[in-house]
Amino acid sequence: MARPVVPILSPSKIADAALELVERSGDVQMTSLAKFLGVAPSSLYSHVQGREEVIDLARLRMLERIAPLPDGLGWEAAVEGLMRQLADHYSRHVKLLPLIFSTSISRERTIAIYEPVFAALLDGGFRPDQLRLIIGLIESQALGLAQGLPEPVISERIRAALPAYTASIDHSRYDKEAATDFAVTVILGGLARMLPRSGE
């Protein structure tokens, strides 16, 4: 009698399954992931240590779809390139975002995706102690762009009491591309002002 076929697990297969489960339900648990893959939970634990590692694999799988930033970019191009690509990819995996932002990055391959930006910032004159703060700023901004603005609350009473807030609603509509352009301009301008001027 032929033995039942057991799906062969791999990090990429686990990551793809986790991404699909998150898109369906907004979460991933080890038992539901094992069931989705058609394996026993014990088989899953032979490949990953637990849920946090699964989420990190899903993060890596998502980030590996980003076009690699070339070495030698100026810091402005590196920051802009990373922010635009993160905002784009995060918007495709909105349900994954709360999970990845609550777990630590532990894989070298994940960190390596950010290395060209770290290098460009160093070469551009930023101090080493500023680099992770800048990357965190880029990440936070990309997260906000991906999620968009909440639907504004407005009423006749609010219009009468809060005219400046009302003007912000009446004269603008959220557009992701325009919002990304705005964010890039603001962040690049702010970072440029942090660099020491020649002679200082």
Q: What per-residue confidence (pLDDT) applies to 6?
A: 53
Q: What per-residue confidence (pLDDT) applies to 20?
A: 93
pLDDT beyond 50 at 175: yes
3-state DSSP call for residue 34?
helix
In this structure, what are the phi and psi dihedrals at residue 28, rounded to the nearest 5 degrees? -145, 130
pLDDT tens digit sequence for 108-122: 888 888 999 999 999
pLDDT beyond 80 at 82: yes
pLDDT beyond 80 at 198: no
In whole angstroms, what is the distance from residue 153 CA to residue 94 CA? 23
| Residue 172: its H or E element | none
pLDDT beyond 90 at 69: no
pLDDT beyond 80 at 4: no
pLDDT beyond 50 at 196: yes
DSSP per-residue letters across 68-130: PPPTT--HHHHHHHHHHHHHHHHHH-GGGHHHHTTS----HHHHHTTHHHHHHHHHTT--HHH
In whole angstroms, what is the distance from residue 47 CA to residue 170 CA? 53
- What's the whole-model pTM score? 0.84
Mean pLDDT of 40-62: 90
Where b means 16+ CB within 10 Å and e means fewer, 62-99 reads bbeeeeebeeebebebbbbbbbbbbbbbbbebeebbeb
Domains of the chain: 9-65 (1.10.10.60), 68-195 (1.10.357.10)
pLDDT beyond 50 at 1: no
